[in-house]
Each structure stands twice: as C-alpha cells, then as structure tokens.
Structure 1
Amino acid sequence: MSALEKLYKYIDEKNIKLKYIDCLEENHDIQGLYYSDNENNIILIDSQIKSDSLLHSSILSEEVGHYATSVGDSTKKITNENYRYHVEKAERMADKWKCNFLIPDEDLKKAIINCDSISEIAEYLFVDTEIVFNKLKYISYTNNTFKVNDSITIDLLQLPNLVKICNEY
C-alpha cells in the first residue's frame, strides 16, 4: 500500500474531510492546512501538488499529523513570542508524526541495510530526503545510535552522514 493510500485510509477512518483547493498556495502562501471547528476536522490541500506524489504525501501527512497531534488552534496570527513557541512546537509534533507515519522503524531498518546514504534511503522508501533526515534527527534526540540489527548500528551523531557501525561479536 502506498503512502497516499495509507493516508487516505487513515483520513477515511478518522472521518476527516479532505478538500483540494485551486490556487491555495498562490492566494494564501500555503500548500496545506488542517482546521477543526469542533464538529468537523478539515484538511485543505492545494490541488496543484496532486501531480507530485512525493510532495503530495509529504504535505498531506503533515496536515494529518496536525490532526493527530493538535492541541488548540495553531492557525491564529502570531502575536507574541510565547504563542510563536507553541506554533513551532505544533509544527514539530506534526512533522514528527509525518516522519513516523511515512517511515515506520522496521521500514527504515530495511532501507538502511540496503542503502548507503540518506538520499538512497529516500529513493528506496519513495519519500523526500528531508523526511528521512528528520526521522533520524528525531531519533537522535533520545539516542546517539540507532540499532538496525545485531550487526549494524547507525551513529546518529554523524548526521547528515549515514555512518554504519558494524557490531562484532
């Protein structure tokens, strides 16, 4: 099942309304938006990105990430630094959700075994390189290494380089 198919399934299961809007980016300088009015959960996506499946799945998964992780309204105009902090935190949470949804740990491990760089992993998983890098970055916040299997560990302190450590027994 492709990333977009998984996203559409999730959206359907959660009863999220998905609408594609012409000129959303052109008129509002955004490619996607999640909004909740307490009765409806709505995601708006610029219809132009539908032709680029990597961008489409990236934008859509981040907006679904806002649904999955949202607390309060992060769409209001920023009026002070404290509020800016909360908006940036909401963006990071949605991005982390996106990375984990598009790249489950087991898929990442398989990709690392078969690839030697972040760009190769991205191509292998059919996602953007930024998503792979961010997935590894989020893991690095809690661990200095990522164990792929009994013989391979990734040194996350060397990012953006993919440094494999061969474990010997």
Structure 2
Amino acid sequence: MRIEELYDIAASENIDIYSAALPKTHSVSVMDSDLNCFIGLDYSLIHSVAEEKRKLAHEIGHCVRGAFYNRHSKLDLISKHEYSADKWACENLLPKDDMLRAFELGLVEIWQLAEYFDVPEELVKKALWIHFDKEIL
C-alpha cells in the first residue's frame, strides 16, 4: 500500500490529520465525544516514507477500530488497544496473502520484507507474529 492510499483511507473515514509538535510520541490519535477522530503527526520527526506509513496506519487503526483506552479506568488495558491498532496496520500494509507471495519470491529476511513492502523492520516483525506465530499458540 502506498502512503497516498493511507491518506485516502483517512479521508474516506472522515479522519482529520494535522501536523503537530509531538516530541515524545511522533504521532497521536484522539476521538472526541461525537466520535470524530483526529490524527496528529510530527512530520519533523518522521524521516522516511516507511516510518510515516507505519505511524499513520497505526493511528488510522485506532480510529477505524475505536481502539482508544480510558486512562482513568483500571479495567482498560492499553496493550489491547495498541494491539488492535497494530493489527489493522499489519493487515493493511502487510496482508498475509501478500507476505506469502513474497516468501514464494524468496524474500524471507526481515530487511528484505521491509524493503519490499516499504515499511520499517519493526512492523514486519509484528506482522509475522500476527499472521503466523500467533496462529500456532
């Protein structure tokens, strides 16, 4: 998936994207009380298209899945919502069938897959766990 397609998805989902100074997180998503979603990206701290794709896809994942946590609730698990956002990013940037085709082409190293899909290696590792390793547990 190209970066432009992610911006198209955000637009079709009525998700507003803003440039913001976010020195600690580089990106953030929030949903207001009317269920409108907003994404902030600190473009000055995003140094590659691959990194922008990962951050944007993750934040869109929060929005489209409603994966937001309540920091005031002791019963809400942050990891559950982060996993949901990561899963959406992996399903859209590294679909399982596309990964299987890449394997058939001989692309089996993390760096090869990262280059092929134009995403950071960290996201390839998450996708491998989500699509393959987790299934055997």
Which bracket does the TM-score occupy, shorter chain normalised?
0.7 to 0.9
Question: What is the TM-score when the length of structure 1 is the normalising length?
Answer: 0.71
Which protein has the larger Cα radius of gyration, Structure 1 or Structure 2? Answer: 1
Q: Using CA pairs below 8 Å that are at least 6 residues apart, which structure has the higher relative contact order? A: 2
Partner residue in 2 for 1:30: 25
Candidates 47, 51, 54, aligned match of 2:50: 54
How far apart are residue 39 of structure 1 and its match? 4.9
Partner residue in 1 for 2:86: 95
Written as runs of structure 1 = structure 2, the 5 A alignment for 1:1-169 is 2=2, 4-21=3-20, 23-25=21-23, 29-37=24-32, 38-71=34-67, 73-74=68-69, 76-77=70-71, 80=74, 82-83=75-76, 86-114=77-105, 115-139=107-131, 140-143=133-136
Question: What is the TM-score when the length of structure 2 is the normalising length?
Answer: 0.86
Q: Distance in 2 between matches of 1:122 and 1:30?
A: 22
Unpaired segments of 5 or more residues in structure 1?
145-169
User: Which structure dedicates a bigger proportion of its chain to strand?
Assistant: 1
Q: Secondary structure at the match of 1:33?
A: strand
Q: Distance in 2 between matches of 1:103 and 1:131?
A: 9
Question: How many residue pairs were aligned?
Answer: 134
Q: Distance in 2 between matches of 1:8 and 1:143?
A: 34
Relative distance call for 1:49 and 1:111 in structure 2 (3 A) is farther
Q: Secondary structure at the match of 2:130?
A: helix
Q: Secondary structure at the match of 1:8?
A: helix
Which amino acid letter does the alignment assign opposite residue 61 of structure 2? G
Runs of 4+ with deviation above 3 angstroms: 76-80
Q: Distance in 2 between matches of 1:51 and 1:119?
A: 18
Q: Distance in 2 between matches of 1:56 and 1:125?
A: 13
Which amino acid letter does the alignment assign opposite residue 36 of structure 1? M
Percent identity over the alignment is: 25
Q: Distance in 1 between matches of 2:9 and 2:115?
A: 24
Which amino acid letter does the alignment assign opposite residue 83 of structure 2? R
